[in-house]
Structure formats: structure tokens, C-alpha cells
Amino acid sequence: MPVSYSMFFVIQGHIMLMKTCTPSSVLLVCLGNICRSPTAEEVFRQQAAIAGLSIKVDSAGTSDSHIGHAPDTRSQRHAKAHGYKINKLVARQVSADDFRNFDLILAMDTQNLADLQAIKDSLIGTEDNLAKLALFSEEDPTYGGDDVPDPYKGDGDDFEEVIERIESSAQAWIESWKAC
Ligand code: 4NP
């Protein structure tokens, strides 16, 4: 059952509170923020636009190893071949503020999810209204519960598989929000 998010609208001077299950902001997270999550960021942005959903989309990594770097050139090449231009994206590390500023944070694999949960756990108790956390494949009828495998030490097929899984799982989230 998708979670509800609150949205505020001002109509003729009145503030209206509406419940929607479409988050207004989504952060995609992997380890380095140079392969999987920047690809997912652009796929998600394009799919949301096609579906007519207004969602702020960003990505980050749990590690600090690639802060300031452009996406891996192999990811850039494979993404471009599928119509996703990611060369201008810049890697950054996820922060506590991301849990305050995003509605939903999606982890590419279960290790990323555990690392994100540890950050969230450190904030719970002192703060509420923190981002909901889930595995990126959670809603996917084909790949549900699977990791998006880390392609960094892999070959071209691994980078292609990343795109296939990301397109499938992103579409599943979008469909789940359109349905409610
Ligand atoms: P990503 O891939 O988490 O999909 O960005 C990786 C990028 C770099 C490293 C590992 C995974 N690394 O070990 O540097």
C-alpha cells in the first residue's frame, strides 16, 4: 500500500491540504553516485515527466569516494545509448539533511538500504517527518526485492543490466503512484 504524502495548495487565497501518494521529492542512492544512482536519477526524471508527475529528483552516494566526480564514462555511454544524458551530473554524498528535505529515499541495493537506515535511525527520536526509505526494486513485479547489482567492476553487459533494471523499477514506482 503506497504511503500518503501531504501537499499544500493555495486556491483563491485559501490554503488547501491534499493527500497524495505521489511524493514531491525522491532521492536515488547507491554507493558511489557515479554508476547506478545518476542513471536512475535521469531515468526517473524522464519517466515522471512522461507520466505528467511533478517530482523533484536527485541522487547521492553513501560513500565519499567520488564526491565532485562526473558519472563513470561507461555509465554515461550506456545511458546515452538508451536516450539518457547524464554527463553533467556531479556526485555527492548523502547527508542527514536529505532525510529532512526528501519525501522518499530509494536505495539501489540492500547494503545501501542498511547504510541509509543507520543514518535515519540516528535522527529518529530527535526528529520526525523524515524521508520514507525503501529498496528501489520494492514495487517492481519483475525484479521486486532484488538489488540493482553494482556494475563498477563489471563489463558492458552489467551496465546494460543496470539500465534494464532501473527502467523497470522506476516504471513500477510511477505506475503505483498513478494508480492511487
Ligand atoms: P555505484 O558504483 O555505487 O553504482 O556508483 C560504484 C562506483 C564506485 C565504486 C563502487 C561502486 N568504488 O568502489 O569506487
pLDDT in tens, 85-142: 999 999 999 999 999 999 999 999 999 999 999 999 999 888 889 999 999 999 999 9
Angle subtended at Cα 167 by Cα 165 and Cα 169, rounded to the nearest 5 degrees: 65
Tell me the C-alpha distance between 95 and 136, whole Å.
18
- Residue 106 is predicted with a pLDDT of 98
State which ligand 1 atom lies nearest to the alpha carbon of 65: 14
Nearest residue to 60 (alpha-carbon basis) of 27, 104, 87, 23: 27
30 is catalytic: yes
From 28, 33, 34, 92, the mutation candidate for ligand 1 (largest count of ligand atoms within 8 A of CB) is: 34
Tell me the C-alpha distance between 71 and 62, whole Å.
15
Tell me the C-alpha distance between 180 and 171, whole Å.
15
Least confident stretch, 10-14, 73-77, 106-110: 10-14
- Residue 18 is predicted with a pLDDT of 63
21 is catalytic: no
The one catalytic residue in 72, 103, 140, 150 is 150
pLDDT over threshold 80, residue 19: no
pLDDT over threshold 90, residue 146: yes
Q: Show the domains of the chain with their CATH numbers.
A: 23-178 (3.40.50.2300)
- Residue 2 is predicted with a pLDDT of 62
The one catalytic residue in 35, 36, 58, 165 is 36
What is the longest distance spanned by two Cα atoms in the chain?
56
- Residue 125 is predicted with a pLDDT of 87
- Residue 15 is predicted with a pLDDT of 75
Asked if 79 contacts 42 with a C-beta cutoff of 8 angstroms, the reply is yes
150 is catalytic: yes
Contacts for 154 with CB less than 8 Å, ≥ 6 apart = none
- Ligand 1 neighbours, Cβ below 6 Å, are 30-36, 61, 65, 150, 152
The share of the chain scoring above pLDDT 90, in percent, equals 84
